[in-house]
Amino acid sequence: MPPAHGPIPPLSPVLFAGFALRPIPPWLLQPALDRGLRHVLDRHPDLFERLADLDRPRYRIDVTDLPFGFVLDVAPERLTLVRRPELVDVAATATIRAPLLTLLELMQGRLDGDALFFSRDLVVEGDTEAVVALRNAIDGAGIDLIEEAMGVLGLLAGPLRAVLERAQRVFDAAASDLETVRQAALAPLARRREADRARLEDLERKVAELSRRRKREERA
């Protein structure tokens, strides 16, 4: 995944899954995306009503830990899968940039978007009013992503739900293990930074003391 301004992708199973997804062309996944969006709009036909006052907004959704991003058009309603290197060339009203899980939890209303923005875990560029309107539209619709996905699958929903529950446990364990690896890898750097900070503070004290001593000598 190419570097981009904004949040650094977290070390997580999603990041490694993204590496595996790189060879897959977007057009192969687009039909499933079309079906999913149509299902959501059938269940929530008023989803984009709050965006009616905006001038046909288009959103770039840059998923920092996947090789793909999304382009969301409100009129006509379409969600297009785009490779991240090509996403930057797409003209858009606003850009929303964050890791996948952050975006999903934000859509589910589990995270505070304002807090994420100030922590730089979420980056918004362009027309912030359009982004706020989109967020309000999603919140107002009360979309449950898991239930929407199950609805698309029909008779397969039951068996797949059990698979997803097991996959969630595996994912959580893998995420915890990767966080341990991340902390272990960063620990030497943190200790070195702390040692450098202590040396810098000591040097500043010595310089300040020398400056005071010279001033006393000049007055003597």
The CATH number assigned to the domain holding 102 equals 3.30.1050.10
The overall pTM is greater than 0.75: no
Name the more confident of 92 and 178. Answer: 92
Residues 73 and 26 sit within 8 Å (Cβ to Cβ): no
On whether both 80 and 116 belong to a single domain, the answer is yes
On whether both 135 and 164 belong to a single domain, the answer is no
**Mean of pLDDT values over 53-70:** 88
Residue ending a domain, among 143, 166, 181, is 143
Whether the per-residue pLDDT at 82 is higher than 80: the answer is: yes
> Predicted confidence band at 185 (pLDDT cuts at 50, 70, 90)?
confident
Residue ending a domain, among 143, 172, 193, is 143
Q: Is the dihedral of CA 78, 83, 88, 89 positive or negative?
A: negative
Which of 5-9, 58-62, 162-166 has the weakest average pLDDT?
A: 162-166
Domain residue limits at 216:
158-220
Name the more confident of 213 and 11. Answer: 213
On whether both 175 and 106 belong to a single domain, the answer is no
Within-domain flag for 96: yes
Within-domain flag for 114: yes
The secondary structure of the chain, three-state, reads CCCCCCCCCCCCHHHHHHHHHCCCCHHHHHHHHHHHHHHHHHHCCCCCHHHCCCCCCEEEEEECCCCEEEEEECCCCEEEEEEHHHHCCCCCCEEEEECHHHHHHHHCCCCCHHHHHHHCCCEEEECHHHHHHHHHHHHHHCCCHHHHHHHHHHHHHHHHHHHHHHHHHHHHHHHHHHHHHHHHHHHHHHHHHHHHHHHHHHHHHHHHHHHHHHHHHHHC
Q: Per the structure block, which two tokens stand in for 133? A: 């309107």
Q: How far is CA 56 from CA 73, 76, 126, in A?
A: 7, 8, 14
Q: Per the structure block, which two tokens stand in for 130? A: 């359009």
192: alpha, beta or left? (left if phi > 0; alpha if psi -120 to 50): alpha
pLDDT for the residue 152: 58
Which position has the token pair 């930074």?
193
> Predicted confidence band at 2 (pLDDT cuts at 50, 70, 90)?
very low
pLDDT for the residue 155: 47
pLDDT for the residue 95: 92
Let me know if 159 is exposed, middle or buried by CB neighbors in 10 A (0-12, 13-18, 19+).
Answer: exposed
On whether both 191 and 120 belong to a single domain, the answer is no
Q: What is the count of structural domains for the chain?
A: 2
On whether both 176 and 104 belong to a single domain, the answer is no
Within-domain flag for 44: yes
Within-domain flag for 29: yes
> Predicted confidence band at 60 (pLDDT cuts at 50, 70, 90)?
very high
Within-domain flag for 6: no
pLDDT for the residue 4: 45
Whether the per-residue pLDDT at 157 is higher than 60: the answer is: no
The one-letter amino acid at 16: F
On whether both 129 and 168 belong to a single domain, the answer is no
Task: Encode pLDDT of 85-144 as tens digits.
Answer: 888 888 899 999 888 878 877 776 666 656 666 666 788 899 988 888 888 888 777 776
On whether both 134 and 212 belong to a single domain, the answer is no
Count Cβ atoms below 10 Å from residue 92 Cβ, excluding itself.
Answer: 20
Within-domain flag for 151: no
